[in-house]
Chain A
Amino acid sequence: MSDFYHHEQDLDRFRHRIFIAGGAVLLAFALLLSRFVYLQVVQHEYFSTRAESNRISLVPVVPNRGNIVDRNGIVLARNYSAFTLEITPAKTRGLEETIDDLAQVVEIEVKDRRRFKRLLEESKNFESIPIRTRLSDEEVARFTAQRYRFPGVEVKARLFRQYPAASLASHAIGYISRINLKDKAFIEESDQAANYKGTEQIGKTGVEAHYEFELHGKTGYEQVEVDAGGRAVRILSQTPPVPGNNLTLTLDSTLQGVAEQAFGKRRGSLAAIDPSNGAVLALVSSPAFDPNLFVDGIRFDDWDELNNNPDKPMLNRAIYSTHPPGSTFKPLMSLAALSQGKRTPNQAIADPGYFNFGNRRFMDDKVGGHGSVDMYKSVVVSCNTYYYTLANDMGIDNIARFMSQLGLGRRTEIDIPGEATGILPSPEWKAQRFKKREHQKWYAGETISVGIGQGYNAYSTLHMAHALGNVVNYGQVFRPHLVKNIKDPSGREIRTIEPEPARQIELKREHVDFIKRAMAGVVKEGTGARAFAGAAYESGGKTGTAQVFSLKGGRYVEGQVKERLRDHSWYVAFAPVDQPRIVLAVMVENGGFGAQSAAPIARQVFDYYLTGKLPGGPAPESDAPDDAEEVSDESH
């Protein structure tokens, strides 16, 4: 009985608990249901948006970069399409292992790895970095078959920049390379960040850099459905990109080639300008480099070689290297004297071979002097003594004022980056340049060195060509420019770099004509005569020598000085004399005196430009100075 009672009681309790359990289950399921209602009804819109934004990704479509052609339409920069293998480090399971595994599928050389490592350092973790470029079709197929093994690795079809003429005009054209942090900041400052989404490369130097935003084009977008791994599944909509504009350069690539070849293996630079409009016809910096090396991220050893080469091929000498112009300064001094009324052409001095100033004696390089020297003769024979006295008479302020007008000691505003201002010495300049008070004072003796283009004077070949161009153009100043016009992708010209004169210098026509005649004299009977013997046109020129090494109290004997300490050889010229179509300045580093190295290069360039004659090889070096070649120094 009690057993039964117990049993009934237990059963009751059990059934009671079953009820409670059932109630708890219903309660719990009600909780779940309310959660579902909250997520699927109340928050439905929010989660729909989240799912959509998960699903849809805006993928930028990078536009084709504009091409660059020379004035005759010869292509200097274009694009071609190739496959690259790229890794997004953040998405891989382990970078080293991934690369090791990849190496078994496609060939990956040590230099590829090194380049990757370098690019990795300057990129963010979620950026896609190429490990291999220019995959063959077979390699693409091999990788694609095993793609599932490599999360974070993708084959991408990319456009590559190609410079078909390799190193030709490399300093003028420049190159493009991967966007680094500095470029990124620049893009953001220029308010171009949106347009550069997906763009990986940017112009670093030359025209490629200056006209970056013209060349780049407008980035398009694709709305794509992506999976959680970020891989595109299908395209939903498209906004096509607009290709960049094409540039036509003022450069004549054959002329450029002639000029570069004329340098041979010598270091130096040349700037050739059409004085009537400022168009740059040739811009040489020797040695040059191959911009193709930079395009897909320069390899370590290539970079190392370019960087450590003592000849500094990356340096754009034509616009950045400045040196004293030596005697090429003298025609400009003469023009200053005429313009400021300090000399007439016929006023002559008696040259004893030296000029005494205080207790110092400035030497002419011709022992015993040139005798009676007027302005014409001073240019033709490059008489130092004439310019010592002239500088002393004019004073530094007058010299600086005039030369500044001609465009020296300031940027020419050429349309490529990296231009030097040069140094036009003056008391103000010196006061700014030096910190210590005792260094800031201008000494009258310094004016005398400035008069023959030595001392603190420092200009690039572009400066000198520009200044001479301004002179032979009777004071009408054109901004030197490398780009002639900009065309849209359909070939319609949208902008011409107009040959609008930038300003006008007050010069008297007869003064300019006199200087032109004197410089023609240099070629006919002076220091340039040997280099231009037999030329089919009339040109004007002036040789010059920039000192590298000051031989205190001694005479400069070329053979006794090491190659790197030899003087720099200058030549400035224009042709034809009547209606100049080309002005140029050449400088050969350690080339000795001006007529020796620089003038023969100018001869080859003129010959081609004016008569179409192609030279057989690098310009020859004259072995002996013409009579009256100048080498000068302020000697005691």
Chain B
Amino acid sequence: MNHIKRLCVATFSHIDLPLLLIVSALMGLGLLTVYSATSSDGFGKLDNQLINMAVSMVLMLLVARTPPQTLMRYAVPLYLIGVVLLLGVTLFGIVVNGSRRWLSLGFVRIQPSEIMKIAMPLMLAWYFHKHEALLKARHFATAALILAVPILLILKQPDLGTSLLVGAAGFFVIFFAGLPWKVIFGLSAAAGAALPFAWTLLHDYQRRRVLTLLDPSSDPLGAGYHIIQSTIAIGSGGLFGKGWLNGSQTHLEFIPEKHTDFIFAVFSEEWGLLGNGILLLLFTLLIARGLMIAAAAGTLFARLLAGSITLVLFIYAFVNMGMVSGILPVVGVPLPFISYGGTALVMLMLGIGILMSIHTHRMLVQK
């Protein structure tokens, strides 16, 4: 009995209350919206999402009580396993919808690119931590290589959304590690110059998504349909929205992927600008809390990891809302804590768990 009590105290003492409150609020909105988007199919999706939330919450708690030093030990093996599995995908992967993303391990199918979302910032943070205070240009070059290998493998699947997220996670580590501004600007310029070349490397459907963004009405029943219908949903929501369960675009099935990637359209239609403001506020608070944790973290590893995880959360939110509202191309990025789906939620909550771990273990490190 005493033992259990101690375990509880040990676990709950590693919770960061502001993060927990913000994430719970987001998840609550998520549940309401998933219910609205899937109510016509019964409660199945809602039940699943509740289970997803419970599981990811437990995982978050487990990670939160794990000290960053322990996490650091997983960095290299996790990264290497990730790369090997990605290679496995390119060689033996299962093709679903024209993309080779899944790997069958006999008893379970996994998507190794998801592992990279955590493994990549861990690995790079570990790498910079190891070379702390001695950072030279070659370290940044090595870091770039560590980043490039999995990204290229994921791009090849092809999976633009995930490679973007993994790439962002890695880049933010490098950025916080102190990548010189002139390199950043130089690379941006070079990327700009290489854009026409990159265009030719894109897959047809990827190019179409970009073109559709520029002019959705060019293909109203094809690629542009998603964007047109989601902007109609958002716009018709107005200031205060049509009310929960009252979105006509949603309930008359005009919004595609309405409980996953396009759930923001459902939310926005029913809650209006007011709801969007609240949502943006919650994300801002979440990111602010993350950045505060990063700023207060005790080690370079913890700082870089916390900074990267936080900005990846931002990228998720920004890219998703940007694409649904029609200012960014359509890439498969869910809205964090809101979209239906277990894998994404687990990865996000692992990230939150790491943030909590970093914050609650900072004194121990300093001592």
Q: Which residues of A contact B (CB under 8 A)?
A: 3, 6-7, 10, 13-15, 17-18, 21-22, 25-26, 28-29, 31-33, 35-37, 39-41, 43-44, 46-48, 50-52, 54-55, 225-229, 233
Contacts and interface: CB of A to CB of B under 8 A. Distances in A.
Contacts of A48: 235-236, 238
Contacts of A3: 133
A21 B276 contact: no
B277 interface: yes
19 contacts: A3-B133, A6-B133, A10-B178, A15-B295, A21-B175, A25-B284, A25-B287, A32-B322, A35-B325, A39-B231, A40-B239, A47-B232, A48-B236, A51-B233, A51-B235, A55-B249, A227-B254, A228-B229, A228-B252
A21 B236 contact: no
Contacts of A18: 176, 291, 294-295, 307
A37 B272 CA distance: 10
Interface in B256-292: 268, 272-273, 276-277, 280, 283-284, 287-288, 291
Nearest to A54: B254
A51 B241 CA distance: 13
Given A10-B133, A41-B273, A36 B287 contact: no
A51 B327 CA distance: 20
A37 B273 contact: yes
Which residue, of A32, A35, A37, A225, has the highest number of chain B Cβ atoms within 10 A?
A: A32
A227 B253 contact: yes
B315 to A, nearest CB: 9
B176 A17 contact: yes
What's the dominant secondary structure at chain B's contact region? helix
A7 B135 CA distance: 12
Given A10-B300, A55-B248, A226-B252, A32 B280 contact: yes
Interface string B306-329: 010001001000100110011100
B252 A225 contact: yes
Nearest to B310: A21
B303 interface: yes
A41 B288 contact: no
Nearest to B234: A39
Contacts of B237: 40
Given A6-B133, A54-B232, A25 B280 contact: no
Given A29-B284, A40-B276, A55 B252 contact: yes
B351 to A, nearest CB: 16
Contacts of B238: 40-41, 44, 48
A54 B287 contact: no
Contacts of B175: 17, 21
B282 to A, nearest CB: 11
A47 B235 contact: yes
A25 B310 CA distance: 10
Interface in B317-349: 318, 321-322, 325-327
Contacts of A31: 327
A25 B249 contact: no
B273 A36 contact: yes
A13 B252 CA distance: 52
B291 A22 contact: yes
B284 A36 contact: no
Given A29-B283, A41-B239, 17 more contacts: A10-B133, A14-B178, A14-B294, A18-B291, A21-B175, A25-B287, A28-B314, A32-B327, A33-B276, A35-B322, A35-B326, A39-B234, A44-B238, A51-B233, A51-B235, A54-B232, A229-B253
Contacts of B252: 54-55, 225-228, 233
A40 B234 contact: yes
Contacts of B272: 40
Contacts of B311: 21, 25
A7 B321 contact: no
Contacts of A32: 280, 318, 321-322, 325, 327
B307 A39 contact: no
Contacts of A226: 252
Contacts of B234: 36, 39-40, 47
Given A32-B321, A39-B234, A40-B238, A51 B133 contact: no
B284 A26 contact: yes
B249 A51 contact: yes
Contacts of A21: 172, 175-176, 291, 307, 311
Nearest to B235: A47
Contact of A35 (B176, B254, B327): B327
B176 A51 contact: no
Contact of B235 (A14, A25, A39, A227): A39
B236 A36 contact: no
A43 B253 CA distance: 22
Nearest to A15: B295
Given A44-B236, A54-B232, A55-B252, A33 B280 contact: yes
A3 B132 CA distance: 10
A6 B235 CA distance: 52
Contacts of B231: 39, 47
Contacts of B300: 10
Contacts of B287: 22, 25
A26 B231 CA distance: 23
- Return the 9 tightest CB-CB contacts between A and B, nearest first: A47-B235, A51-B236, A227-B252, A39-B235, A228-B253, A40-B273, A47-B236, A228-B254, A6-B133
Interface string B177-220: 01000000000000000000000000000000000000000000
A39 B280 CA distance: 16
Interface in B126-180: 132-133, 172, 175-176, 178
Nearest to A31: B327
A31 B326 CA distance: 12
B268 A36 contact: yes
Nearest to A50: B232
A554 B28 CA distance: 107
Contacts of B307: 14, 17-18, 21
Contacts of B294: 14, 18
Contacts of A14: 176, 178, 294-295, 303, 307
B258 to A, nearest CB: 10
Contact of B236 (A6, A41, A50): A50
B161 to A, nearest CB: 18
B306 to A, nearest CB: 10
B248 A29 contact: no
Among B235, B254, B284, max chain A CB count under 10 A is at B235
A26 B284 CA distance: 8
Contacts of A13: 178
Contacts of A44: 235-236, 238-239
A233 B277 CA distance: 32
Nearest to B135: A10
A15, A52, A54, A55, most chain B CB atoms within 10 A: A54
Contacts of A33: 276-277, 280
B218 to A, nearest CB: 17
Nearest to B247: A51
A44 B238 CA distance: 6
